[in-house]
Amino acid sequence: MNKLKLTLAIAVLAIAVLAVTGCKPEDDSVSVKERMEMFIEDANASDFGSLKAHTHPSATMYNTASTTYWDGFFPGIDTQPLGSPSISGTTANVSGCGMTFTFTLLEDGEDVYKIRTIDSSGGTDFN
């Protein structure tokens, strides 16, 4: 009888542990706000090689968005970094480098937003 109780207790404990740790789906989602914060952090650190990962593959300029491209896109970022985004839906406005940028984001997978376009008041756009 004690062996049965011990086995049952271990089984219940194992199920509880699995329910708490092993059965939760991973949350790979990236909200518009999170994507913008990551992009701004990388841009302000002049980590231009990381910026392409934040852009949507359907963007026309996706394959041309190299480190050199982003370095030219954000002139003066060392002295005039990008500020905090103002977000409305899937659009974000950001000031920096003496310009204003309007970002539009699009889902790339379920609840994973990436930058589809960037319109710059300075005339250079990413689309």
Is the domain spanning 26-120 CATH 3.40.50? The answer is no
80: exposed, middle or buried (Cβ count in 10 Å: 0-12, 13-18, 19+): middle
Neighbouring C-alpha atoms within 13 Å toward the C-beta of 122? 16
Question: Which pTM does this prediction carry?
Answer: 0.78
The domain segmentation of the chain, as residue ranges, is 26-120
Using CA atoms, how far apart are residues 20 and 40, in angstroms rounded to an integer? 35
Secondary structure (3-state) at 84: coil
Residue 119 has pLDDT above 80, yes or no: yes
pLDDT digits (tens, 9 = 90+) for 44-91: 999 999 999 999 999 999 999 899 999 999 988 989 999 999 999 999
Secondary structure (3-state) at 72: helix
